[in-house]
């Protein structure tokens, strides 16, 4: 890795950069009083009005960099060296009072990844924006309120004058991120730091927010430091890109140049690993991600799935699945409304087949997965696994049947007992289901560890000794211990870094090839879904709006929502940078209905063989 | 029948060297009548109140000493300090009664001109009604003290219609009361001198009056009573002194008894001059300090009482006589005296009748050197007896109350039992529950720690009540014969001794002494020690007098 | 709203009914608790006990006895004590309540102010000496038994230093109603307040400090700092306000429980004849009617406190308002 001389187009153009970082090093105080360096000799500039993306995988130090700029790291546990010049102030030389007077909420403002938790839950959004307005300048309350409404209107929040008095919990994630942006804009900052601002949002909302940021940047003429791991977002947003790896800048330059001609192997590997929607055009079967050589960054060929689904008899047959939850509230804790989380969902999965459930948060896709294995008992309908109706089984029979359906969770660490070795965790269900002796379980666990790309020796380790990707492999091995016929993978790869994500997806396909297991793949990430699925079902507000073969759904979407969903997906192509989606600002609709709501009867139209679309009305 | 085990004597604590130097009660010379001492407000403190203000019902050591100043019976214990306090004198009766009909008929002449605190005159009707009332309100002693009155059996069975026909009759013309007994009762006059037999107006409510004061004839009357706050006594405006020894005119004008707080706080209040006396015993840690710094404010007096460990003679291991005797030999009374606070506060006992009880004879078999007094334990003999009894290794649980002394005594017994080869444990139960718990045979208590105080100075008070067949009722919370012993021969001798007392009191007392000795041969209990009373008084309080019957004589003391 | 209140009331009745039944059953399941024998007195003759049993209706089936007791407690309100016969339960509790309320309310003001101040100060100086000092003191406050602290306070103010200028103004122990002499009421309550509050200041201070420090990990604190708010504003407005919610909940419960009688130790040490002492005395002598009344009284306050806490939380935390 070479530390490149920072590109300073602004300097070349004769304007002073708004942000200039030179030789920044950051160390954290770790256990046993040792200092660990997390940023090493980082240098880059951001010119006025320019957008620079800091891109890298988790642990690359991109967020630490952004926090350093605002001096938000805990001074007792962090040590900063080098220089950060922001709007003429040397940030590292300012004290707290100076930071407040010149930097935070003045020259620079920041928005964060988690809009759900970044707003104070017990103050009205208006008050929080007004606080940002009045804390740096004298302003009558009425004027602050007027400006706050204006800001909310600027970030396209409908009914701003009314919504200013709402509390954060009354806003959806996307709307909260808009509020955050409005708050950041309150001080008319010269630099807006956006730390993964869309990562936690649904795709359609992400698109809206990215559009908004682009518009606002033009309106306010501010510079943006955009921190992200998503190459699609980088391509769409950044004028220039700084690629980071383990605290260092690997490569930086104009975004178009980096995408077109990456110089460094890491950059190449990163780009090669990114799932790109539409890259599967014409592929008949699910296709593995190309294997990238991390040394050279060169992608190898991609292997397609060899096995074919056995279409004689479905392994899973879900009919008219309905799951509703009561919402209680008020002083009485009475039922006040009902969430129609899953409404009349029917689908079938055949042995060796992968059906993906896609949709945005709250659409009911995860609830569907849980309802199938009866993790909630509020469901009606029928779920046949092979010859048995799961909803008709007694508790003991159901327990035995669980063997056949295994789940791979979204957060592997949370699903493992931290005080149990991985080996014990793997063998435990094996013994629980009386599939053999402990010794046989060990042998099997060792073999499976091998199959998921780990080693048998790792069985003696504890969960915290594994990386995120390794943990997910352990979870896959654990699911395989019981010889399941169906695996439900609920957002199983969503939290992984791109390169790891590709590996885990490939592993799942390997397993399907080898064992003929069927997958119910639940995900919001359509680019990954495209790789792995035979068929796709799109869910919206608890219902399947469209279901059919992968190519049919992605290439010939019929339902308006499917189209919207696909249109919102970012593509790592800098050429699309100036496009606007022109999406309507939407509050995510939730399937909360009054108690007396009767869901309308739905009708599906078969537009192509196996391709069903819900007919409106 | 004891007056309730008062908490007063439950001194917690350790050995107190300095207490030996304490002034002994009644050391104050009674000064000649000095009018200057009349008046003022006396302030008494108590951690808690203790029940109804109805003298016919309340049976507590806390209120009895007050009732004797608000109400009178036909007879009264002499209100003087010292041994004379055990004597009975005429109170509302003009003179001692005429006894006739072989000791079965008592005739009293009622004093004239006495008024109740409500201004009404005292008449023979009030006397008759008061005796009926004892039964109508189910006085706790109605069955034990007054069942010998003719007609009492009917009254006990059907309280509402009680007339005591042929039992208690009044003649308004001659102003006499005649009481007929079923059998002679040498203790009858004692029974008439306790608060349960006081005379109140005939129109008094025929049920527990609770915290409503009942008019009386005493020198004081209750002004108000709030069990959660205070009890106030003021002078009875209609009182004229008729007998100084039966009902003297009290010195203070007003007596305020305040409830609440802690013993610790009460000590401070007395030392600060905010109060004159406290009911509860002085905490032992303060006692050590006070015996040096404020010795002149402490008064010590012997009590007619004992601490003892009744053993259940009906269940193992103490159904074995040898086992019971073994424990009697093994217990070191000297050690227990130390537990209680040292020789100044207690003395070892070996008999059932306490040293100051008439009839008590100094005899002791269960000691290293048998003779008159207990000297030291005899472990050798004890171990041999246990071996002989074949009860060695059995499980024994000592049930003590949860005061620190109760627990300490219980723990001591546990160690002795363990030394004797038993598998012993201690169970401590909240004080008020423990007393009924150890009585009920359903709880299968093997051995317990408890105390007993005299009601009036008669040996039957201890022997017959605690070890007589009549006091044993299996399955009842009221079965004060906790040993469950019922020896036909001894029981008959006790009954005979009670009868004998009517004709030959001296001979009767000797017989009681013999019964005591013979009862202890059966060893139904381990006598532990007899406690002494310690009072802490304010510096201004004068003329402290101690009655063996009612302890400190409140109204006889002055505060100015 | 009316429906809400009614439903609350209904729930309260159900809770109190359950508690009263349990109390009643526990009482009769306690060995040697035969109220007839207790009322009759020590060594009472069996006839006397039977007479009492009949007189007090103790020979009737338990459910009848229960019904009668409830009727006399709530309807005719003339239920009398078993131990202090003639002592009417309802007036006794009503008389004890103001003393307890005085004690607990005063202490509550002190401990809320003290606790919040302690917590905020310690959190603001986290890890430095004011924090260490305050946390040391509050650890002591939590560790020292109230009873002992009270005795020590008494030892100093009533005994050792009573006659010095510092404490000669302290009146004798006991409670004086506010209506009688407000000055004396205040002077006699000062040390009980301080003693009772001491423990809770320690408890609340520690809790609030931890709460604030945890809140500092929250994303919205980072947002507030990124906005350029001053450290003081972040601490007071953003961190403390969130961290105070559990304190309010705890306060409500503590207050309810204490008013209901849990301040017994402080009451006894300072000679304040409040509900706690009443309960304690009743338990000591197994006085069922008084136990029943005080237990129901306590549960009433706990339920009320619960409702008030719910309401307060609605005010403080808008998230809970979602219906």
**Phi, psi angle pair for A35, to nearest 5°:** -95, 130
The structure's pTM equals: 0.75
DSSP β-bridge partners for residue B450: B308
Res B91 pLDDT > 80: yes
Min CA distance, C274 vs chain B (Å)? Answer: 8
Query: CA torsion sign, A475 to A478 to A483 to A486?
Result: negative
Of C127, C229, C310, the CB nearest to A135: C229
Min CA distance, C276 vs chain A (Å)? Answer: 31
B25 lies in some domain: yes
Tens digits of residue pLDDT in A85-135? 998 889 888 888 888 888 888 889 999 888 888 899 888 999 999 998 888
Chain B partners of C158 at a C-beta cutoff of 8 Å?
265, 268-269, 272
What tokens does A136 get? 């740096």
Res B4 pLDDT > 60: no
> Do B274 and C172 lie within an 8 Å CB cutoff?
yes
The string of DSSP letters for A425-492 reads HHHHHHHHTT-S-HHHHHHHHHHHHHHTT--GGGGGS-GGGS-HHHHHHHHHHHHHTT--SEEEEEST
Query: What's the angle, vertex CA B35, arms to CA B32 and CA B37, rounded to 5?
Result: 85
Report the residue of A96, A99, A110, A122 to disrupt the C interface, i.e. the one with the largest count of C CBs within 10 Å: A122
The string of DSSP letters for B220-275 reads EEEEEEETTTEEEEEE-TT---S-TTTSPPPS-SEEEEEE-S-HHHHHHHHHTTS-
Question: What is the DSSP code (8-state) at residue C70?
Answer: H
**Phi, psi angle pair for A370, to nearest 5°:** -70, -35
Write down how long chain B is: 560
**Phi, psi angle pair for C48, to nearest 5°:** -65, -45
Q: Which are the contacts of A285, defined by CB distance < 8 A and separation ≥ 6?
A: A304, A305, A306, A308, A534
E strand or H helix that includes residue A462: none
- Cβ pair C154, C270 in contact under 8 A: yes
Tens digits of residue pLDDT in B225-282? 988 889 999 999 999 999 999 999 999 999 999 988 888 888 989 998 889 999 988 8
Min CA distance, C251 vs chain A (Å)? Answer: 20
Model confidence at B133, in pLDDT bands (50, 70, 90)? very high
Min CA distance, B479 vs chain C (Å)? Answer: 7
Domain-by-domain residue ranges, chain C?
Answer: 2-89, 95-321
Architecture of the domain whose range is C95-321:
Orthogonal Bundle (1.10)
Pairing state between β B98-100 and B105-109: antiparallel
Find, in chain B, the residue whose alpha carbon is nearest to that of C277. B260
Tens digits of residue pLDDT in A187-242? 889 999 999 888 877 877 888 888 888 888 888 889 999 998 888 888 888 999 99
Res B7 pLDDT > 50: no
Q: Does C53 touch chain B (CB under 8 A)?
A: no
Return the closest-CA partner of residue A133 out of A98, A157, A160, A109: A109
Q: Which residue has the tokens 């048995």?
A: A388
Report the residue of B63, B231, B262, B466 to disrupt the C interface, i.e. the one with the largest count of C CBs within 10 Å: B262
* Distance (Å) of CA A381 to CA A188, A346, A378: 55, 9, 10
Report the residue of C52, C84, C277 to disrupt the B interface, i.e. the one with the largest count of B CBs within 10 Å: C84
**Phi, psi angle pair for B122, to nearest 5°:** -80, 130
User: What is the pLDDT at residue C118?
Assistant: 94
- Cβ pair C239, C216 in contact under 8 A: yes
Chain B partners of C151 at a C-beta cutoff of 8 Å?
262, 264
Query: CA torsion sign, A228 to A231 to A232 to A237?
Result: positive
B545 and B509 in a common domain: no
> Do C4 and A96 lie within an 8 Å CB cutoff?
no
> Do C228 and A131 lie within an 8 Å CB cutoff?
no
E strand or H helix that includes residue B537: none
B209 lies in some domain: no
Return the closest-CA partner of residue B477 out of A476, C40, A332: C40
Return the closest-CA partner of residue A499 out of A166, A261, A267, A171: A267
Laid out side by side, the sheet with A89-90 consists of: A35-46, A19-29, A78-86, A89-90
Rounded distance between C-alpha atoms, residue A163 and residue C176, angstroms: 54
User: What is the pLDDT at residue C163?
Assistant: 72
Of C226, C310, C322, the CB nearest to A329: C322
Domain A17-107+190-263: CATH superfamily is: P-loop containing nucleotide triphosphate hydrolases (3.40.50.300)
B363 and B261 in a common domain: no
Return the closest-CA partner of residue B554 out of B267, B254, B305: B254
Report the residue of C213, C214, C223, C246 to disrupt the A interface, i.e. the one with the largest count of A CBs within 10 Å: C223
User: What is the pLDDT at residue B15?
Assistant: 36
E strand or H helix that includes residue B11: none
B337 lies in some domain: yes
Pairing state between β A592-593 and B176-180: unpaired
B542 and B529 in a common domain: no
User: What is the pLDDT at residue B102?
Assistant: 87
Report the residue of C226, C303, C314, C319 to disrupt the A interface, i.e. the one with the largest count of A CBs within 10 Å: C226
A-C interface: how many C-beta pairs under 8 angstroms? 87
User: What is the pLDDT at residue A589?
Assistant: 64
Chain B partners of C44 at a C-beta cutoff of 8 Å?
140-141, 143-144, 478
Of C30, C33, C40, the CB nearest to B138: C40
B337 and B311 in a common domain: yes
Domain-by-domain residue ranges, chain A?
Answer: 17-107+190-263, 117-188
B202 lies in some domain: no
Q: Which are the contacts of A236, defined by CB distance < 8 A and separation ≥ 6?
A: A210, A570, A571, A574, A576, A577
Q: Which structural domain, as residue segments, surrounds residue B360? A: 305-533
Residue where a domain stops, chosen among B197, B223, B255: B197
* Distance (Å) of CA C41 to CA A66, B8, B129, B158: 82, 18, 22, 19
> Do C48 and B143 lie within an 8 Å CB cutoff?
yes
Give contacts of B 121-140 with C, CB under 8 A.
Answer: 138-140
> Do C323 and A332 lie within an 8 Å CB cutoff?
no
- Cβ pair A207, A585 in contact under 8 A: no
Q: Does B160 touch chain C (CB under 8 A)?
A: no
Q: Which are the contacts of C119, defined by CB distance < 8 A and separation ≥ 6?
A: C204, C205, C206, C207, C208, C209, C211, C212, C240, C243, C247
What tokens does B519 get? 């009862």
Question: What is the DSSP code (8-state) at residue C88?
Answer: B
CA dihedral B157, B161, B163, B167 (to 10 degrees): -10
Q: Does B294 touch chain C (CB under 8 A)?
A: no
Res B34 pLDDT > 90: no
B310 and B295 in a common domain: no
Q: Which residue has the tokens 């190449």?
A: A268
User: What is the pLDDT at residue B403?
Assistant: 81
Of B139, B212, B264, the CB nearest to C151: B264
Tens digits of residue pLDDT in C90-138? 888 888 899 999 999 999 999 999 999 999 999 998 888 989 999 999 8
- Cβ pair B292, B18 in contact under 8 A: yes
Find, in chain A, the residue whose alpha carbon is nearest to that of C228. A104
Is residue B188 classed as helix, strand or coil in its secondary structure?
helix
Tens digits of residue pLDDT in A288-340? 888 877 777 777 777 888 888 888 889 999 999 998 888 776 555 677 788 88
Tens digits of residue pLDDT in B464-519? 999 999 889 888 888 899 999 999 999 999 999 988 888 888 999 999 999 999 99
The domain tally of chain B equals 3
- Cβ pair A545, A557 in contact under 8 A: no
B422 and B399 in a common domain: yes
Rounded distance between C-alpha atoms, residue A63 and residue A74, angstroms: 14
Report the residue of B259, B263, B265 to disrupt the C interface, i.e. the one with the largest count of C CBs within 10 Å: B265
Of B268, B439, B478, the CB nearest to C158: B268
B309 and B298 in a common domain: no
Min CA distance, A222 vs chain C (Å)? Answer: 17
Q: Does C8 touch chain A (CB under 8 A)?
A: yes
Give contacts of C 71-130 with B, CB under 8 A.
Answer: 80-81, 83-88, 92, 95-96
Model confidence at A269, in pLDDT bands (50, 70, 90)? confident
Chain C partners of A105 at a C-beta cutoff of 8 Å?
226-229
Of A72, A121, A132, the CB nearest to C319: A121
Average pLDDT, chain B: 88
Return the closest-CA partner of residue A121 out of C211, C239, C228: C239
Cis peptide before B317 (omega within 30 of 0): yes
DSSP β-bridge partners for residue B302: B532
Q: Does C60 touch chain A (CB under 8 A)?
A: no
Q: Which are the contacts of A306, defined by CB distance < 8 A and separation ≥ 6?
A: A285, A513
Give contacts of C 116-145 with A, CB under 8 A.
Answer: 127
Res B17 pLDDT > 60: no
- In CATH, what number is assigned to the domain containing residue B523? 3.10.105.10
Rg (chain B; Cα; Å): 23
User: What is the pLDDT at residue B21?
Assistant: 40
Report the residue of C6, C225, C228, C322 to disrupt the A interface, i.e. the one with the largest count of A CBs within 10 Å: C228
Tens digits of residue pLDDT in C137-162? 988 888 888 888 988 888 888 877 77
- Cβ pair B551, B65 in contact under 8 A: yes
Q: Does B297 touch chain C (CB under 8 A)?
A: no
Model confidence at A452, in pLDDT bands (50, 70, 90)? confident
Res A1 pLDDT > 60: no
- Cβ pair B80, B545 in contact under 8 A: yes
Instruction: Tell me which chains share at least 3 CB pairs under 8 Å with chain C.
Output: A, B
Min CA distance, A335 vs chain C (Å)? Answer: 9
Model confidence at B530, in pLDDT bands (50, 70, 90)? very high
Model confidence at B132, in pLDDT bands (50, 70, 90)? very high
What tokens does B325 get? 């005797």
Res B16 pLDDT > 60: no
Q: Does B269 touch chain C (CB under 8 A)?
A: yes
Query: CA torsion sign, A392 to A394 to A397 to A398?
Result: positive
Res A378 pLDDT > 70: yes
Q: Three-state SS across B486-555?
A: CCHHHHHHHHHHHHHHHHCHHHHHHHHHHHHHHHHHHCCEEEEEEEEEEEEECCCCECCCEECCCEECHH
B328 and B422 in a common domain: yes
Tens digits of residue pLDDT in A141-196? 999 999 999 999 888 888 888 889 888 888 878 888 889 999 988 888 999 999 98
Return the closest-CA partner of residue B435 out of B425, B424, B449, B454: B449
Min CA distance, B505 vs chain C (Å)? Answer: 25
Per residue in A108-134, is it b (16+ CB within 10 Å) or e — as a string?
bbbbbbbbbbbbbebbbbbbbbbbbbb
> Do B210 and C173 lie within an 8 Å CB cutoff?
no
> Do C87 and B480 lie within an 8 Å CB cutoff?
no
Rounded distance between C-alpha atoms, residue A35 and residue A516, angstroms: 49
Least confident of A19-23, B279-283, B408-412, C313-317: C313-317
**Phi, psi angle pair for B161, to nearest 5°:** -100, 25
Q: What is the mean pLDDT of residues A404-409?
A: 88
Res B2 pLDDT > 60: no
Average pLDDT, chain A: 85
Q: Does C49 touch chain B (CB under 8 A)?
A: yes
Min CA distance, B213 vs chain C (Å)? Answer: 10
Q: What is the mean pLDDT of residues B20-42?
A: 61
Tens digits of residue pLDDT in A515-551? 889 999 999 888 889 989 999 999 988 899 999 999 9
């Amino acid at each position: 890795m070479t530390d490149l001389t920072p590109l300073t187009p602004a300097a070349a153009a004769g304007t002073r950069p708004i942000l200039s970082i030179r030789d920044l090093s950051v160390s954290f105080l770790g256990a046993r009083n040792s200092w660990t360096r997390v940023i090493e000799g980082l240098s880059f500039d951001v010119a006025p009005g320019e957008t620079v993306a800091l891109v890298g995988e988790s642990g690359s130090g991109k967020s630490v960099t952004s926090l350093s700029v605002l001096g938000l790291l805990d001074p007792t546990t962090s040590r900063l060296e080098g220089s950060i010049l922001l709007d003429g102030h040397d940030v590292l030389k300012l004290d707290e009072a100076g930071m407040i007077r010149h930097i935070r909420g003045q020259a620079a403002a920041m928005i964060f990844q988690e809009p759900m938790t970044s707003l104070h839950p017990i103050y009205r959004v208006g008050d929080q924006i007004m606080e940002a307005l009045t804390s740096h300048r004298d302003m009558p309350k009425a004027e602050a309120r007027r400006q706050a409404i204006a800001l909310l209107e600027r970030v396209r929040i409908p009914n701003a004058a009314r919504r200013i008095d709402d509390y954060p919990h009354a806003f959806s994630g996307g709307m909260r991120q808009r509020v955050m942006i409005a708050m950041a804009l309150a001080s008319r900052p010269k630099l807006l730091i956006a730390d993964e601002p869309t990562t936690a949002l649904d795709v359609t909302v992400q698109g809206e927010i990215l559009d908004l940021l682009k518009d606002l940047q033009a309106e306010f003429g501010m510079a943006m430091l955009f921190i992200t791991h998503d190459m699609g977002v980088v391509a769409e947003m950044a004028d220039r890109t700084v690629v980071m790896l383990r605290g260092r800048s690997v490569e930086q330059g104009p975004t178009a140049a980096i995408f077109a001609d990456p110089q460094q192997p890491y950059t190449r590997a990163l780009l090669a690993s990114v799932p790109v929607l539409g890259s599967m055009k014409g592929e008949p079967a699910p296709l593995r991600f190309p294997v990238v050589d991390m040394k050279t960054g060169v992608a190898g060929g991609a292997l397609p799935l060899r096995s074919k689904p056995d279409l004689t008899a479905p392994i899973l047959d879900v009919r008219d699945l309905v799951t509703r939850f009561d919402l209680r509230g008020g002083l009485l804790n009475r039922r006040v409304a009902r969430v129609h989380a899953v409404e009349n969902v029917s689908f079938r999965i055949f042995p060796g087949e992968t059906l993906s459930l896609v949709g945005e948060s709250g659409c009911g896709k995860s609830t569907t997965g849980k309802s199938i294995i009866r993790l909630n008992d509020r469901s009606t309908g029928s779920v046949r696994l092979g010859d048995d109706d799961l909803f008709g089984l007694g508790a003991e029979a159901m327990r035995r049947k669980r063997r056949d359906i295994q789940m791979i969770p979204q957060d592997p660490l949370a699903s493992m007992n931290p005080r149990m070795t991985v080996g014990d965790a793997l063998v435990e269900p094996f013994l629980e289901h009386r599939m053999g002796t402990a010794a046989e379980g060990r042998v099997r666990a060792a073999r499976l560890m091998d199959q998921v790309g780990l080693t048998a020796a790792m069985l003696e380790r504890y969960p915290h000794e594994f990386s995120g990707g390794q943990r997910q492999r352990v979870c896959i091995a654990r699911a395989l211990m019981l010889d399941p016929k169906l695996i439900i993978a609920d957002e199983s790869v969503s939290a992984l870094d791109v390169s790891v994500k590709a590996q885990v997806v490939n592993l799942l396909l390997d397993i399907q090839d080898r064992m003929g297991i069927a997958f119910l793949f639940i995900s919001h990430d359509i680019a990954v879904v495209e790789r792995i699925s035979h068929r796709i079902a799109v869910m919206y507000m608890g219902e399947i709006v469209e279901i059919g073969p992968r190519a049919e759904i992605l290439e010939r979407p019929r339902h308006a929502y499917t189209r919207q969903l696909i249109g919102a997906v970012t593509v790592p192509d800098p050429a699309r940078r100036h496009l606007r989606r022109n999406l309507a600002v939407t509050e995510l609709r939730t399937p909360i209905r009054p108690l007396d709501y009767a869901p309308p009867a739905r009708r599906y139209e078969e537009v192509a063989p196996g391709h069903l679309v819900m007919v409106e009305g | 029948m004891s007056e309730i085990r008062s908490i007063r004597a439950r001194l917690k604590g350790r050995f107190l060297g300095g207490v030996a130097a304490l002034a002994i009660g009644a050391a104050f010379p009674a000064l000649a009548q000095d009018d200057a001492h009349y008046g003022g407000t006396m302030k008494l403190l108590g951690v808690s109140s203790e029940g109804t203000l109805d003298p016919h019902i309340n049976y507590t050591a806390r209120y009895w000493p007050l009732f004797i100043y608000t109400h009178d019976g036909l007879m009264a214990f002499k209100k003087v300090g010292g041994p004379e306090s055990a004597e009975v004198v005429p109170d509302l009766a003009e003179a001692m009664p005429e006894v006739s009909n072989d000791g079965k008929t008592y005739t009293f002449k009622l004093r004239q001109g006495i008024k109740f605190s409500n201004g009404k005159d005292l008449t023979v009707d009030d006397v008759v009604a008061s005796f009926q009332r004892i039964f109508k309100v189910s006085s706790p002693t109605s069955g034990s003290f007054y069942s010998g009155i003719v007609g009492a059996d009917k009254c006990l069975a059907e309280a509402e219609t009680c007339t005591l026909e042929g039992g208690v009759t009044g003649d308004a013309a001659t102003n006499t009361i005649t009481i007929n007994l079923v059998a002679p009762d040498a203790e009858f006059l004692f029974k008439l001198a306790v608060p349960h037999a006081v005379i109140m107006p005939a129109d008094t409510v025929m049920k527990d009056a609770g915290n409503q004061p009942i008019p009386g004839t005493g020198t004081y009357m209750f002004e108000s009573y709030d069990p959660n706050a205070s009890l106030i006594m003021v002078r009875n405006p209609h009182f004229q002194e008729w007998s100084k020894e039966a009902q003297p005119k009290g010195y203070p004008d007003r007596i305020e008894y305040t409830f609440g707080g802690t013993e610790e706080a009460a000590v401070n209040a007395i030392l600060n001059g905010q109060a004159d006396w406290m009911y509860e015993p002085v905490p032992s840690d303060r006692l050590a300090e006070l015996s040096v710094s404020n010795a002149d404010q402490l008064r010590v007096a012997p009590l007619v009482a004992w601490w003892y460990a009744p053993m259940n003679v009906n269940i193992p291991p103490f159904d074995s006589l040898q086992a019971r005797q073994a424990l009697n030999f093994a217990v070191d009374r000297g050690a227990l005296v130390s537990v209680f606070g040292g020789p100044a506060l207690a003395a070892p006992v070996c008999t059932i009748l306490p040293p100051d009880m008439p009839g008590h004879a100094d005899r002791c078999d269960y000691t290293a050197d048998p003779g008159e007094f207990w000297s030291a334990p005899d472990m050798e003999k004890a171990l041999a007896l246990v071996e002989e009894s074949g009860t060695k290794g059995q499980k024994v649980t000592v049930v003590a109350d949860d005061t620190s002394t109760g627990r300490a005594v219980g723990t001591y017994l546990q160690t002795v039992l363990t030394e004797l080869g038993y598998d012993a444990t201690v169970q401590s139960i909240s004080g008020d529950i423990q007393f009924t718990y150890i009585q009920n045979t359903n709880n299968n208590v093997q051995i317990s720690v408890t105390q007993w105080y005299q009601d009036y100075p008669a040996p039957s008070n201890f022997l017959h009540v605690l070890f007589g067949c009549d006091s044993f009722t299996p399955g009842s919370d009221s079965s004060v014969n906790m040993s469950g012993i019922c020896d036909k021969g001894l029981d008959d001798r006790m009954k005979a001794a009670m009868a004998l007392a009517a004709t030959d009191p001296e001979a009767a007392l000797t017989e009681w002494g013999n019964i005591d000795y013979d009862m202890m041969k059966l060893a139904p209990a381990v006598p532990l020690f007899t406690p002494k009373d310690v009072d802490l008084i304010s510096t201004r309080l004068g003329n402290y007098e101690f009655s063996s019957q009612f302890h400190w004589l409140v109204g006889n003391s002055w505060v100015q | 709203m009316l429906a809400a209140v009614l439903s609350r009331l209904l729930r309260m009745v159900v809770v109190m009914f359950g508690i009263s039944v349990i109390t009643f059953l526990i009482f009769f399941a306690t060995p040697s608790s035969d109220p007839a024998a207790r009322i009759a007195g020590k060594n009472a003759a069996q006839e006397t006990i039977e007479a009492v049993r009949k007189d007090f209706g103790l020979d009737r089936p338990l459910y009848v006895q229960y019904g009668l007791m409830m009727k006399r407690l709530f309807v005719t309100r003339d239920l009398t004590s078993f131990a202090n016969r003639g002592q009417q339960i309802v007036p006794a509790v009503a008389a004890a309540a103001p003393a307890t309320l005085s004690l607990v309310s005063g202490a509550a003001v002190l401990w809320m102010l003290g606790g919040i101040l302690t917590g905020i100060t310690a959190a603001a100086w986290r890890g430095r000496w004011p924090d260490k000092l305050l946390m040391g003191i509050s650890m002591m406050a939590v560790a020292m038994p109230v009873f002992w602290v009270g005795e020590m306070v008494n030892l100093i103010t009533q005994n050792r230093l009573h006659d010095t200028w510092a404490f000669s103004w302290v009146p004798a122990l006991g409670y004086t109603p506010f209506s009688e002499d407000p000055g004396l009421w205040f002077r006699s309550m000062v040390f009980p307040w301080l003693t009772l509050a001491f423990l809770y200041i320690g408890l609340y201070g520690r809790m609030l400090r931890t709460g604030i420090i945890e809140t500092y990990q929250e994303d919205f604190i980072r947002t507030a700092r990124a906005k350029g708010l001053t450290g003081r504003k972040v601490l007071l407005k953003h961190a403390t306000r969130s961290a105070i919610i559990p304190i309010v909940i705890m306060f409500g419960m503590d207050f309810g429980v204490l008013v209901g009688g849990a301040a017994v130790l402080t009451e006894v040490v300072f000679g304040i004849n409040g509900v706690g002492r009443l309960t304690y005395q009743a338990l000591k002598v197994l006085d069922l009617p008084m136990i029943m009344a005080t237990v129901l009284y306590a549960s009433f306050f706990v339920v009320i406190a619960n409702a008030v806490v719910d309401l307060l939380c609605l005010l403080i935390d808008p998230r809970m308002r979602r219906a």
